[in-house]
Amino acid sequence: MVRYSGFGFLSDFGIRISAFFSRPSAVTRHPKMILDVVTYGHPALRQRGARIEKVTLEIKKLVADMFETMHTNHGIGLAAQQVGKALQLAVFDVREAKDRPSWLELDGKPAPVDDFMPLVLINPEIKPGGEPVAGGEGCLSFPEIFAEITRPESVDVKALNQKGKPVEFRCGGLLARAIQHEVDHLNGILFIDRMSRKTKEELRPELDELQAKTKAELESAGNR
Ligand SMILES: [Zn+2]
């Protein structure tokens, strides 16, 4: 299997960002936790996330823990389903993915992507646009599995941020790909559902093995 170099969901470029975590926040009195990322075969990955009606302290803590978990695992995007919570919440940080550019527009004007990182999207609604483009993807819930996925180049995003305030922007490139990948997670859709039949067939032995391993682990945890 070809390893697509430089791809960010599982990055090959060693993301480690500490600046965000040095900022004071409402949750600093709680130690941040690295959460377990659930893998293919875990039922949470097929659950549609519930809307978040209020950004409570509990949600803020979850957001901080999801960033900690994503950065530790060298990811650029993480959905709540991947830490076993079926909620409409995903976090992103594409700053270190210099070899896979992103762009962003606010009110029709170009804006620096880095100014929006790290990014939290709550209850996101997206409208993809532009030409379909193929690009390499990985997923923290599918360790060591990479594939080419075709998705629209850009996306219009409406969501709430970590403060519960509405945000609206258009983006493209890697960020648009990451957002489409994570919003799929929020609806119980996985990147294997977006692969060509041929690619999925080629990956079948690895996918079956991963699914069986996850199920065996769940079973043994349940019997403990
Ligand atoms: Zn994923």
Q: What is the pLDDT of residues 31-59, one digit of tens each?
A: 889 999 999 999 999 999 999 999 999 99
Q: Among this protein's residues, is 182 annotated catalytic?
A: yes
Per-residue pLDDT band for 130 (boundaries 50, 70, 90) equals very high
Q: What is the pLDDT of residues 18-34, one digit of tens each?
A: 333 344 444 456 788 99
CATH label of the domain that carries residue 126: 3.90.45.10
pLDDT for residue 12: 38
Confirm if 99 and 67 have CB atoms less than 8 A apart: no
Residue with tokens 């762009």: 103
Q: Is the pLDDT of residue 14 over 80?
A: no
Catalytic annotation, pick one of 182, 201, 202, 217: 182
**What total number of domains does the chain contain?**
1
Stretch 129-151: mean pLDDT: 97
- Domain of residue 45 covers 19-223
Q: What's the CA gap between 176 and 155, in Å, rounded?
A: 6
How many helices and strands, by DSSP H and E, does the chain display?
A: 4, 7
Give the largest Cα separation in the chain, rounded. Answer: 56
Beta carbons of 84 and 42 less than 8 angstroms apart: yes
Element containing residue 160 per DSSP (H, E): strand 142-160
- Structural domain contains residue 84: yes
Distance in Å, CA 53 to ligand 1 centroid: 24
Give the pair of three-digit tokens for residue 82.
């991947």
57 dihedral zone (left: phi>0; alpha: psi -120 to 50; beta): alpha
Distance 24 CA to ligand 1 centre (A): 29
Q: Is residue 142 part of a domain?
A: yes
DSSP class of residue 187 equals: T
Residue 6 in any domain: the answer is: no
Residue 134 included in any domain: yes
Alpha carbons within 13 A on the beta-carbon side of 36: 9
- pLDDT at position 204 is 98
- pLDDT surpasses 70 at 210: yes
% of residues, the chain, pLDDT over 90: 83
pLDDT at 16: 36
Pairing of strands 166-173, 142-160: antiparallel
Asked if residue 7 belongs to a domain, the reply is no
Ligand 1 center–CA 151 separation, angstroms: 14
Instruction: Evaluate whether residue 155 is within a structural domain.
Output: yes
> Could you tell me if residue 5 is inside a domain?
no
> Does some domain include residue 130?
yes
